[in-house]
Structure 1
Amino acid sequence: MGGGFGRKSRADWAVQTALLAQKVGRPIKLIWTREEDVRQDYYRPAVLSRFRAALDANGRPTAWENTYVEKMEPVEAPVIPYAVGARDIGAVSSPTHIPYGAWRSVDHSSHGFFVESFIDELAAAANQDPVVYRDSLLEEQPRLRAVLRRAQEESSWGSDLGPNRGRGVALQESFGSIVAHVVEVTVADDQVKVDRVVSAADPGFAISPDGFVAQIESGIIYGLTAALYGEITIENGRAKQSNFTDYPALRMSAAPEIEVHVINSGYAIGGAGEPGTPGIAPALANAIFDATGKRLRRLPIEGQSFNA
């Protein structure tokens, strides 16, 4: 019972418990302190990605080049829903000798941040609205286009938010479900307040609508925590962070208003527990760009300057 978010796929704690029970000759209950838990983890792998693209006179991509530097070849890298012309996608392995494991939405989280951030950059380079630009590249993807348009409608996309505020969008398919997020932020003195998240989600068919919405909401909060604060630094072979004092989580007082709009499209039933996470970081970063003119190309966001 309870959430593992990928950590339960590793059984080192079970082996440790068995060895200790064998040593003392009776059943035991092993409980790690939070400090032990944070410092003995299998971490989300660090990933780097480089992009280049060519645009025609109308701002549409005619060529797309993308190289990943990661622990292994990212299986999601070739999966780009947009019509981007000729593609050259590759990967370079870069072992770090840091234990890595599954993380909620696995490689979709990094892939979504990269692609949806870069598509936003292309929209800006083409001097086009980010939603309109994405929509124009989804002519052969009616299901994704429908989700994007629903998020556009429900979020009142294009309405004026006022000074120091911004709105960003991201669209991601993962685990058979499609989710579009629109994030609204207020930025002042290099501090970000996430005001509102409006999401449209198509799982094919939501068997338990309330449960599905709860999972998407959970994925949003999980993704915002990682995007804002989620950093593990290794020094002298060990993690510096140890508890919520230096590895914070998003508090209820800082949580945004969240709306989730479910689309029952009739396609094959997809997942619920993970698809809410991948698109939230790029939508947040794109909202910060809209508010400040500063493009963020790394995570987490905390500690970065937003001066354009």
Structure 2
Amino acid sequence: PGVVDVFAIPAGVAVVAESYWRARRAADRVQARWSEGATGLDSAALRASYRRRLDSPGKVQRDDGDAEGALRSGARVLEAIYELPFLAHATLEPQNATARVADGRCEVWAPTQAPGLAREVIRRITGFDEAAIVIHQTLLGGGFGRRLEQDYIIEAVHIALRVPRPVKVVWSREDDTRHDVYRPMATTRVRAALSSEGKLVGWSQRVATQALTAAVIPDWLPAIVPGAVPGSLKGLLARGARVAMAGGVVADESGAEGAADLAYAVPNVRVEHAVVTPGVPVGFWRSVGYSHNTFVTECFLDEVAHALGRDPYELRRELLAGAPRHLAALDLAARQAGWGQPLPPGVFRGIAQARAFRTACAQVAEVSVHGSSIRVHRVVAAVDCGLVVNPDIVRAQIEGGIVFGLSAALRQAITLTRGRVDQGNFHDFELLRMHECPRIEVHLVPSDEPPTGVGEPGVPPIGPAVANAVFRATGRLTGPPRGRARGAGAAAAARSPG
């Protein structure tokens, strides 16, 4: 009762009913036959294939001096492999959109981060002129890059073309988790050459990860190319760019950002992006490539400091002497955190910094470890984002980024078994709870420079800051320190469980 229609759409089977729950219950009863797809795809096999990819050269993203020569002649060489998992966006509001198609017009209400792109994909589906397509952009309910994708809008429009009334598509939490466009998995080999004088003289970093821009450019490029360009030519440009980036012919900077722009004064640096194509859908995730590359560079630099018998903060100060904005944020965070001052027994500090999206952010984390339980007590952040117009907004964004990054570092990973995502809801892809959040202090570096971004730069440093504290407490880490930290019609899509 209450079911209006059931029919196939390109993404699966649409079940249209008078309310969401009637649609959801009916969708759960749909008996659909699905192709098994890439059933051999699982996390263990992917880890092995990514490690093998590290044995072959990648697309060079930075090549200063002679890093290989420095490694051959160095008095001591350090090497590590770091593994970072796929991650879902886990927006609190699942994907949803309302669409109405009538009288040669299409109206859509959706929490999209890219209304221009939404209009372009609707134009392709309906054939309507852009003037006949209206996008009502609602509040996001959490975006983090997920709502740059248009899949949920595409579903709503396809259904609205068949149903003569407004239709609202709502994804279940399980749909949202298992059909995300994920933060790419990354496996990185990094090597450092140390001189007999105790100097860091060489740095080599090869990251095996997907070409993220190549994954999104087929949809994005036609939306940003001028309307006078014929649609067939737009499509040709998009396909050509995707093939060039996915094959490593053209550099996809997203794969190496946070590594290729290493700010530390090392005379010999080489960074490569070794492109992999596992077939897992990926998309922009809050801070993009900085989210995994900063983890690697900042954790490995602590290993360098340990090998040299140096304080990790003091080593960073020395290597950032030529990067004044990085250095100002680093000094402010260390000073406000009381770096070097005694802590209670069992509590350790870790430090990390990055300059993402033209904003320098340094963080100090105070952490204790009890068995497999990691507790983050306090985080001190310092930010140079240029001229600050509204300090409370800046602090709120950095605080949100820290909690987002802590959830990823302590709790989250997307894994695959026989081609299917193992996680489905917040019980197995967890967010940090309010009572588990540390005390967070955000300090702003005074500046008259033009304002820069604050939505994403709070994310990259927090994972390595915590990992470096855990390293000081327990020993080396080569991955995130995951552990327990204490009117309209409605439609639901039945999707393949893969």
TM over 0.5: yes
Q: Which residue of 1 is the match for residue 312 of structure 2?
A: 130
**Structure 1: distance between partners of 2:301 and 2:459:** 18
Q: Over residues 22-46 of structure 1, what are the superposed CA-to-partner deviations in whole Å (9 max), with x where a residue is unaligned?
A: 2222211111111111111101100
- Residue 289 (structure 1) aligned to one of 468, 471, 479: 471
**Structure 2: distance between partners of 1:282 and 1:299:** 8
**Structure 2: distance between partners of 1:169 and 1:52:** 20
The residue correspondences of 1:145-160 to structure 2 (distance < 5 A) are 145-160=327-342
Change (3 A) 1:300 1:160: closer
Structure 1 runs not aligned, ≥5 long:
304-308
**Structure 2: distance between partners of 1:58 and 1:196:** 36
Superposed displacement of residue 163, structure 1:
2.7
- Residue 60 (structure 1) aligned to one of 170, 178, 199: 199
Q: Which residue of 1 is the match for residue 389 of structure 2?
A: 207
The residue correspondences of 1:6-25 to structure 2 (distance < 5 A) are 6-25=145-164
CA contact (8 A) 1:223 1:278 kept: yes
The residue correspondences of 1:271-286 to structure 2 (distance < 5 A) are 271-286=453-468
Q: Over residues 29-71 of structure 1, what are the superposed CA-to-partner deviations in whole Å (9 max), with x where a residue is unaligned?
A: 1111111111111011001111111112342211111111111
- Residue 292 (structure 2) aligned to one of 93, 110, 117: 110
CA contact (8 A) 1:176 1:269 kept: no
Superposed displacement of residue 258, structure 1:
0.3
2:190 aligned with 1:51: yes
Q: Which residue of 2 is the match for residue 299 of structure 1?
A: 480
- Residue 414 (structure 2) aligned to one of 232, 237, 241: 232
Q: Which residue of 2 is the match for residue 86 of structure 1?
A: 268
Q: Which runs of 4+ in 1 moved over 4 A?
A: none
1:60 partner letter: K
**Structure 1: distance between partners of 2:275 and 2:381:** 34
Superposed displacement of residue 278, structure 1:
0.6
Q: Which residue of 2 is the match for residue 139 of structure 1?
A: 321
**Structure 2: distance between partners of 1:247 and 1:89:** 32
1:296 partner letter: L
* Structure number, greater radius of gyration: 2
CA contact (8 A) 1:231 1:300 kept: no
**Structure 2: distance between partners of 1:52 and 1:211:** 39
**Structure 2: distance between partners of 1:187 and 1:302:** 10
Which is further off, 122-131 or 68-77? 68-77
Q: Which residue of 1 is the match for residue 167 of structure 2?
A: 28
Q: Which residue of 2 is the match for residue 306 of structure 1?
A: none
**Structure 1: distance between partners of 2:181 and 2:297:** 25
Q: Which residue of 2 is the match for residue 185 of structure 1?
A: 367
How many equivalent pairs are there?
Answer: 302
Structure 2 runs not aligned, ≥5 long:
1-138, 212-251, 485-498
Superposed displacement of residue 302, structure 1:
2.4
Secondary structure of 1:260's aligned partner: strand
Q: Which residue of 1 is the match for residue 130 of structure 2?
A: none
Change (3 A) 1:300 1:154: closer
Q: Which residue of 1 is the match for residue 423 of structure 2?
A: 241
RMSD: 1.2
**Structure 1: distance between partners of 2:261 and 2:372:** 34
**Structure 2: distance between partners of 1:300 and 1:288:** 8
